[in-house]
Structure 1
Amino acid sequence: MSASDVAATTGPDGEPTLDRSVTLFQITLYGLGSMLGAGIYGLVGQAAGQLGSAVWMAFVVSMIAAMLTGLSYANVVSRHPKAGGAAYVTQRAYGIPMLSYVVGLAVVCSGLTSIATQSNVVAASVQKLLGLEAVPVWVLAFGFLLIVAGILLRGIKESMYFNVVCTIIEASGLLLVIAVSVSYWGSNPLTEFPPETSHNGDMGAIAVLIMQGAVLTFFSFIGFEDMLNVSEECKDASRNVPLAIILAMVGATIIYMAVAISAVSVMHWSELPKELALVEVVKRAAPWFPPIILSVVTIFAVSNTALVNWIMGSRLLYGMSRQGLMPQALGKVHATRRTPHVAILTLLAIVMVLSLLGDIKALAQATVLLLLTVFTVVNVALVVLKRRPDEKPGKFEVPIIVPILGAIVCGSLIVVRLFQAGGVVAPAIAFGLIALIALMYFVTGAGRDQERLQRFIEQDDAAAEA
């Protein structure tokens, strides 16, 4: 290996660095795959129950709301393409290590619950599909986790190849729904609201109804934040990641709208089931189509969600370690594979334990609240950085009103989630997790090396200048 090759694979300290090989196409599909999960198969039915055949409007409004924070993330990554993601920009804006620590681990927690949940979903689906009732679900879940861990340890290139395959398959499932339904378009009106909620066509009441539906569909766009944490592995990250965030969100919106229109065209909105509505739509529109194929598509969609969250979590732990907020071992990069192997294996151990807990729905709902809190913190952080005179702009900048509105939207959604029906279990778990993470900060002594934190930021500034 030549001296130039060594320099390209090692940092200033001589340690191996992450492999900067991810292209614009790959990072766009990474974000799209993160958003196009299996949840859309049930979400359409739930949203139709609120909005009737006008369910497609909710996706337009929720995309606009989500895009505010998505654009803020695009602006952040354009300035600071760091694996630490939200934790790094929080530290840079506020200079409070404990807040940065809580923000970073809150995002990791959301990924851990998702991986554990998806592992059990995949295991149960494979068990049913292959007739493996004699094999315990936890054994299949562990096998799935080991396979994903092996792909991640192999390298970011292999991980992205697997993500591209999974994303194409899960997108194909949704495109199939559209293809078999397009001949039904126009069969039913697309602006029919439930009679008990439409208030005789009062526009103000209808606007409120659409906003309520948008609150539900907003969460179908969560996933754009994962793209921030792989920016150190992207080619020309300051340009490509912001562009990929926008392309992924627009692509998801087009697919979601077309799927929603297809669903309420094939079946009257009142007939759509709350669960697996799209499966019923395909059965009605194309009874000849083998339902087993949709089961396979769902497995790939769920597997992709687990993969993306695992990549995100491991890179976030790696970035926080380099920043001085986590043990140095988590920042180690394998010399050959150039992956954060210690962080990947650490998450493997944790998700194996979580997968044994069974139903962790309440924990998953709680981490959604944590993500909204993180979005609010990041939006405000961007406002702080934009108002700081010595902060250099990136290749992609948005007006300051964008993060301000993003913070307002996310703050409003937190209030909605806190007071919506379902009790206080999820909020209690969310606040409990924040308290636990804060306690861990003091117990572990994270962030005490202020010089290391400042040196990391200074190195970033020096690299930007160069």
Structure 2
Amino acid sequence: MLNQILRRKALPSVDDKSVAGGLLRNLSLFQLTLMGVGSTLGTGIFFALAETVPIAGPAVVLSFVLAAVTAALTALCYAEVSSSLPVSGSSYTFTYMTLGEGAAMLVAACLLLEWGIAGAAVAVGWSSYLNDLITIVSGQQIPMAIRTAPFVDGEEGWVLSGQSYVNLPAVVLVWMCTILLLRGSRESAIVNAILTLSKLGVLALFVLMALLVFQQENFVPFMPFGIEGVGAAAAIVFFSFIGLDAVVNASEEAINPQRNIPLAIIAALIVVTAVYVLVAVSSLGVQPAGDFAGHQGSLTMILQRATDAPWLAGILAAGAVMSIFSVTLVCLYGQSRIFFAMARDKIIPEALGKINPHSRSPSTGILVSAIIVTPLAAVVPSHMLWSMVSLGTLVTFIAVAIALIVLRSYFKRQPPGYRTPFYPLVPVLSIASCLYLLFNLSATVYQLFAIWLCVTVMFYFLYSRRRARPQ
């Protein structure tokens, strides 16, 4: 049993350019970069301020920087590992090849948390911005009964609000993205590129308008909740950097992955970090930290306060509606590619890795991803989900840093392209910074995570261990 838990997949040849499993290499460097930017900018910047400014105050700017530094350290590790192992499955496959089957199964559980919960949480947030847009344009609102989650987080745990039955717009978004993904990765990448460029333009408009009414006194006191508040907020906003994993998930569909995957990871990280800091600073310049709780922390409300021009807020709401679509799209894409890699190894049923001969995409895996995400998007409020996304992301980032150390020290692997600078300092710092952010998550998050891991371990021993055939 122990031998099987520690069993590794064979490393691919360094110069192997074949397409395993039938996926088509058709994603360029530009499309890969925008995939990373698109999946990142639509999460943290549209939702995180309302969640984190009340925790950290104006020092939330430092929280974004701290999370970005942690992501940057991991990005350098990701770049080399993905260059050395240009295969589908991201951290799951990297771990399978370096640490063995048991560790890979745990990382897969974290990845499914990361992508599935993120997709649901983003879809929930989309409903709010869609309602803002409809209100600004028509003066009407989507009925409360069908646009918010029926469950709320009360003092005694989850309770029914009594005012809502289902978040219908979130469900509709999930299935619109599913239909697009079923058409193929190339079509999905083109749509994502268009939406991401539109998003960057809308956010640039927001920053410009906000800076015109900037008030420096809103930054005093700068750190009202101390360094603890900065760390707690950084742990939450770390979910904003799941876009790095989205790029790596496309390794088997990328043109020249040894070159383009590392470049896309680093380029995406630079772009999103700059945008995060600019939007956070300009938002705090518009209104004091005490006004960010709840819906007042949305970018639409901040811009309306800054300009007193509903039509500008309408443009931002429209941009948010379009850009959040691209995030949900990439989340479902990422989860389906994890399913594809696991099914190819027979860790889960092989049907989830079946390639549609027309679209050359794993159609069954896409549909199952949508089926899993739909109930979460329909009934669970987003603030209950973000911390779980951060935990899953941090654990997978730690696994990537360890995979790099194993590749260098045990396998003596020398990638043909990018190499992480200042090795082994960078992977060690990456692990340490991820652990620091993990320690800032709440006990409730760890309790839920422990339950999920127990389910994963049971599935592994009852199903996967006897059927797994790594390829």
* Band the TM-score falls in, shorter-chain normalisation: 0.7 to 0.9
The equivalent of 1:408 in structure 2 is 432
Distance 1:11-1:262 versus aligned 2 partners, 3 A rule: closer
Q: 1:227 aligns with which of 222, 244, 247?
A: 247
Q: Check conservation: 1:41, 1:279, Cα contact below 8 A.
A: no
The equivalent of 2:285 in structure 1 is 265
Q: How does 1:142-221 map to 2 (within 5 A)?
A: 142-184=171-213, 187-188=215-216, 192-194=220-222, 214-221=234-241
SS at match of 1:392: coil
The equivalent of 2:114 in structure 1 is 110
Q: Looking at CA atoms only, which structure, 1 or 2, has the larger radius of gyration?
A: 1
Structure 1 window deviating more from structure 2 (425-434 vs 295-304): it is 295-304
SS at match of 1:416: coil
- Structure 1 position 227, deviation (Å): 1.4
The equivalent of 1:436 in structure 2 is 455
The equivalent of 2:335 in structure 1 is 313
Unaligned runs of 5+ in 1: 1-8, 199-206, 457-466
Q: Check conservation: 1:181, 1:266, Cα contact below 8 A.
A: yes
- Structure 1 position 140, deviation (Å): 4.3
Taking structure 2 as the reference length, what is the TM-score of the superposition?
Answer: 0.81
Q: Percent identity, please.
A: 26
Name segments (4+ residues, structure 1) moved above 6 Å: none
Matches of 2:61 and 2:464, distance apart in 1: 49
- Structure 1 position 334, deviation (Å): 1.4
SS at match of 2:439: helix
The one-letter code of the counterpart of 2:438 is I
The equivalent of 2:76 in structure 1 is 71
Matches of 1:67 and 1:24, distance apart in 2: 19
Matched, 1:395 2:417: yes
Q: Provide Cα deviations, 1:355-399, integer angstroms capped at 9, x if missing partner.
A: 444437545533432322222222112111110244232411112
Q: Provide Cα deviations, 1:156-212, integer angstroms capped at 9, x if missing partner.
A: 111111211222233233212111123345x416974347557xxxxxxxx777555
Distance 1:391-1:37 versus aligned 2 partners, 3 A rule: same
Q: 1:89 aligns with which of 69, 91, 94?
A: 94
Q: Check conservation: 1:362, 1:425, Cα contact below 8 A.
A: no
The one-letter code of the counterpart of 1:183 is L
Structure 1 window deviating more from structure 2 (303-312 vs 341-350): it is 341-350
The equivalent of 1:18 in structure 2 is 23
After superposition, the CA RMSD in angstroms is: 3.0
- Structure 1 position 433, deviation (Å): 0.5
Distance 1:146-1:135 versus aligned 2 partners, 3 A rule: farther
Matches of 2:74 and 2:144, distance apart in 1: 46
The one-letter code of the counterpart of 2:341 is G
- Structure 1 position 86, deviation (Å): 0.9
- Structure 1 position 262, deviation (Å): 1.4
Q: 1:380 aligns with which of 392, 402, 409?
A: 402
The equivalent of 1:6 in structure 2 is none
- Structure 1 position 431, deviation (Å): 0.7
Matches of 2:309 and 2:250, distance apart in 1: 42
The equivalent of 1:293 in structure 2 is 315
The one-letter code of the counterpart of 1:112 is G
The equivalent of 2:156 in structure 1 is none
Q: 2:274 aligns with which of 254, 265, 282?
A: 254
- Structure 1 position 234, deviation (Å): 0.9
Unaligned runs of 5+ in 2: 1-16, 135-139, 148-165
Q: Check conservation: 2:337, 2:362, Cα contact below 8 A.
A: yes
The one-letter code of the counterpart of 1:181 is A
- Structure 1 position 55, deviation (Å): 4.0
Q: Check conservation: 2:126, 2:321, Cα contact below 8 A.
A: yes
Structure 1 window deviating more from structure 2 (109-118 vs 135-144): it is 135-144
SS at match of 2:23: coil
- Structure 1 position 226, deviation (Å): 1.9
Q: 2:143 aligns with which of 129, 133, 145?
A: 133
Q: 1:304 aligns with which of 318, 326, 339?
A: 326
Q: Check conservation: 1:112, 1:347, Cα contact below 8 A.
A: yes
Structure 1 window deviating more from structure 2 (373-382 vs 430-439): it is 373-382
